[in-house]
Structure formats: structure tokens, C-alpha cells
Amino acid sequence: MSGSIIRKRFSQGAEIFHEGELGSCAYVIESGSVEISTRRGGSKVVLAQRGPNEIFGEMAIVDDKPRSATVTAVEDCELLVLSKAQLQQRIDNLDPVLKMVLGVILDRFRESLRSMHSETRSPTDVISAVDPQMQIKAYKAAINRIELEQSLRVAVEDHQLELFFQPLVGGRDGRLRGFEALSRWRHPERGLVSPAIFIEAAEESGLIFKLTEWALHSACAALKRIEKTPLFYDDFTISVNVSAHELSEPAFINIVTEAVQRTGVNPKNLTLEITESALMKNPDATLEVLEDLKSLGFSLSIDDFGTGYSSLSYLKRYPVHAIKIDRSFIVDLERDPRCVDIIRALVGLGHDLGLNVVCEGIETRTQYDKLLELGCDALQGYLIGKPMPLDDALARMCAPAVCEVC
Ligand code: C2E
Ligand code: CA
Ligand code: CA
């Protein structure tokens, strides 16, 4: 399978790659050791040895130049393959200054290797500048990330991802307004994995596009089911979270449109939640995408509102339907009067702009009552219901008492 973890084994003495050839991957040593060498004046010069948790062959996947040395297995080796494709997206997205610095470092490293071909110099001069402890830590973090990404790729393909649904209720009537769809990973060994663990990896590896496509289709399929229940009404919505990366991807509009067309749901019953910080990454470009989405009939909500420093001039131009006040303000509501003032101001701002104001992260009855008093239009939080599988969410919300507090 294309997404599975790729490991390679080399027996003692085997050549892993040769100086001058084009490389398409780097290797992380899981066990065994290798020797890095070059030829000078017809004889072999050993440049370095690498052992477990160390990486080699990385230069060829950062730039397109030929391998600058030959690598041979000193002992039997088991190697984890890090492909160029796994790195490409990150390199493309790198801050340009960082990209330039990386290029300079690589060029200088290659130059120092070239000078070693002609001078008598200890090979360790080239590699001793790095603190070994720091290097091991950095390698371990990178290995964990590579493994996470590779198993996430498998998870997307093997249907290990699942949507959980968390209810939102109306402030005035306590009626179910809809659900927020939150991704969960049912890992065969680790059990249920939280999105806090895998969304960032999905974003950094580019897998987020597949994940969102899947989430949109699953949310639309859930909407089709809910349409047949008494819970459904004209303004019922399911919210799906969208990352900043997707807003800058031209195909995103097609992906969202395809999801609603294939399932036959009304776009107004699908809310796209975009964090305030994602909106502010590239506000002008984002504005255009939001306008397109709105004209197609989708509902739009600004998530984690109050944390992303949006400028008021953009806020008034964003064609959104709702703002969702960040949980951090609700957490401190009971002990910090300034949070009450901030929420009051945010609710006023939202209402003045003609937006619905949603509050999330409500865990106590006191918070719930205070938010109602402050004029919140919709509420979400563990007090009302935790995220749960669709069957449980439907069973719970169809029960006579909609939620514990109503
Ligand atoms: P979010 O969009 O801000 O979602 C709300 C998070 O707060 C969820 O965490 C939810 O379970 C949690 N939450 C809700 N009510 C309460 C409460 O009363 N108390 C506390 N302590 N927490 C509460 P979760 O499900 O772990 O998701 C974390 C974040 O991961 C989400 O934050 C969202 O940014 C991201 N995420 C989840 N699913 C997806 C997805 O399918 N796509 C994308 N792009 N991001 C996702
Ligand atoms: Ca959200
Ligand atoms: Ca949020």
C-alpha cells in the first residue's frame, strides 16, 4: 500500500547508495550502523559513521543535487525511509528566509565536503559542531512525526477515522441547533486518538486535504440521516472545521461543493468553521474564498473568536454568519470579572455586525446561565453534551429532555 511505513534492510557490507547518483529519499537508522565515505586520489576516505536514530542521505531530498558520498552498511541495518515527497510540501511551505538559510547551509556543507576531497583534514571537523544530545532529541522527534504521518496516511485510506458529533443548543429555547463534527482516529493499537495529536501532522504533511474531504463527505452523510429525524429543521447545521491551508488551495471550493452535491444536502445546513487566526493569515485572499463559499450558500463561522487578533475592518467585511467565542474566555468566566466584560463586548460586537454569537466549552450551570444573560445565541460544551458517535448523539438528543440544563 502506498501509505504504509517503508523500511529497508541492508546486510553488512552492502552499498546503500553511491556518490554521484540521484537520490529520492533519506534514511533513519532504526538498527545497525553505516559508514559514509568518499573517494580521494583513488582511495576511500571515511567521512563519518552513523548509528541508531541518526539520519543520512538527507541532502538529496532537500535539493536536487547528486549524492555527495557513498554509504555502506557496516553491520546489518534496518532503515526507515523518508521520501522526498514527505518533505516536499514542508519545503514548499517554508518561510522564504528559512528556505534561503537552509540552502546556504547545504551549499556550505557540500563545499566543505569538496574541500576534503583535496585537503588532508579530519572528517570529524565537518560533523563535530552539533551537540549529540540535541541531535538525538531532534532525530527522535522527527522519527515520531514521520511514523505518525505514515500511519495517519494508512488511517485515512483504511477508514480508521471517525466523526464525533457535539450538540449546540439555542440560547433562548434550548433547542438543538446542530452538531459540530470533530474527527477521531480509531487506532488499531492506541485506541481513540484525539485530533490534538494528529491534525497538526495532517496539516504539515498535506494530508489535511484528504482528511477534510473525508470529514465533509461524512458530515453530509450524517446530515442526510438527520434529515429523516424529528431533530431536523430548516436551520439545522453540522459544522466542519477547516484549516488555514485549505483556504489557500484553489481546489477547496470544488471539494466542498462536490460533498454537498454528491449527498444532495442543502449547503446552508453545512457550516464551515474557520479559526480567526487562519482567516488572518492572508486576509485578502481569504475574503475572496469566503465570498465564493457564501454565494454558493454555505454557512460560515469564525472559530476561536477573540484569540486571532482580527482587524475590525476585516471583520465587518467577512461574509460570515456566526462567531464562536473561544473557550478560554468561558473557562475563567466565574472567577475573572474581566472575562464577563470581554464576552459582553464580543456579544455586542457580533450582534452589531448582525452575526450569531456561539459560546463553546461550557462545563457548569453557572457559566451557562451567565452566557444566556449576556445574550449568547447558541451554546456548546460538555454540560450540554460531549462529542459522541452519531448514533449516541441522535439517541441522546431525541430523548424528551434535550439536554441536562434545559
Ligand atoms: P475546536 O474546533 O475548537 O473544537 C472544540 C474542542 O473543544 C473539541 O476538542 C471539543 O471536544 C472540545 N470541547 C468541547 N466542549 C468542551 C468543554 O466543555 N470542555 C472542554 N475542556 N473541551 C470541550 P477536540 O475534539 O479534541 O478537537 C480539538 C481541535 O482539533 C478542534 O478544536 C479543531 O480545531 C481540531 N479538529 C477536530 N476535528 C477536526 C477536523 O476534522 N478538521 C480540522 N481541520 N480540525 C479538526
Ligand atoms: Ca471548531
Ligand atoms: Ca473552537
pLDDT in tens, 205-229: 889 999 999 999 999 999 999 999 9
- The backbone torsions φ and ψ at residue 50, rounded to the nearest 5 degrees and listed phi first, read -130, 140
Cα(323)–Cα(356) distance, rounded to whole angstroms? 6
Model confidence at 117, pLDDT cuts 50, 70, 90, reads low
The CA 295 to ligand 1 mean position distance, Å, reads 27
Residue 181 Cα to ligand 2 midpoint, Å, equals 8
**Residue 4 confidence (pLDDT) above 80:** no
Q: Of 252, 257, 255, whose CA–CA distance to 267 is shortest?
A: 257
Q: Which ligand does the CA of 380 lie closest to?
A: 1
Say yes or no to pLDDT of 100 above 60.
Answer: yes
> pLDDT: is 180 or 91 the higher one?
180
Residue 250 CA to ligand 3 center (angstroms) comes to 25
Nearest CA to ligand 1 atom 46: 241
Residue minimizing CA distance to atom 4 of ligand 1: 182
H/E run at residue 135 = helix 132-157
300 C-alpha vs ligand 3 centroid, how far in Å?
A: 14
Q: Is 385 in the pocket of ligand 1 (CB under 6 A)?
A: no
For ligand 1, atom 45, which residue shows the shortest CA distance? Answer: 241
pLDDT at 123: 42
The answer, yes or no, to whether residue 284 has pLDDT greater than 90, is no
* Residue reference for cell 470544488: 254
Return mean pLDDT, the chain: 87
Establish whether residue 361 lines the binding site of ligand 1, counting it when its CB lies within 6 angstroms of any ligand atom.
yes
Integer Cα distance of 9 and 29 in angstroms: 10
* Percent of the residues in the chain that have a pLDDT greater than 90, as a whole number: 58
pLDDT of 2 strictly over 80: no
Please report the sign of the dihedral spanned by the C-alpha atoms of residue 397, residue 270, residue 227, residue 260. Answer: negative
Task: Give the closest residue to 238 by CA, choosing from 225, 250, 248.
Answer: 225
Work out the average pLDDT over 373-392. 96
Q: pLDDT-based confidence at 124, cuts 50/70/90?
A: very low
Average of per-residue pLDDT across 193-199: 94
Give the predicted TM-score (pTM) of the model.
Answer: 0.78
Are 37 and 15 spatial neighbours (Cβ–Cβ below 8 Å)? no
Q: Convert the pLDDT of each residue in 12-47 to its tens digit.
A: 999 999 998 988 899 999 999 999 998 877 788 888
Q: Which ligand is nearest to the CA of 278?
A: 1
CA distance 369 to 340: 12
Q: Is the CB of 382 under 6 A from ligand 1?
A: yes
E-assigned strand segments in 136-236:
161-170, 176-187, 191-193
Check whether 359 has a pLDDT greater than 50: yes
Give the mean pLDDT of 117-136: 49
Ligand 1 binding pocket mutation candidate from 203, 241, 302, 332 (most atoms within 8 A of CB)? 241
381 lines ligand 1 (CB under 6 A): yes
Please report the pLDDT score of residue 9 as a whole number.
96
CA-closest residue to ligand 1 atom 12 = 361
Task: Please check the confidence at residue 406 and state whether its pLDDT lies above 80.
Answer: no
> What is the number of the ligand 1 atom nearest to the C-alpha of 243?
44
pLDDT in the model for residue 205: 84
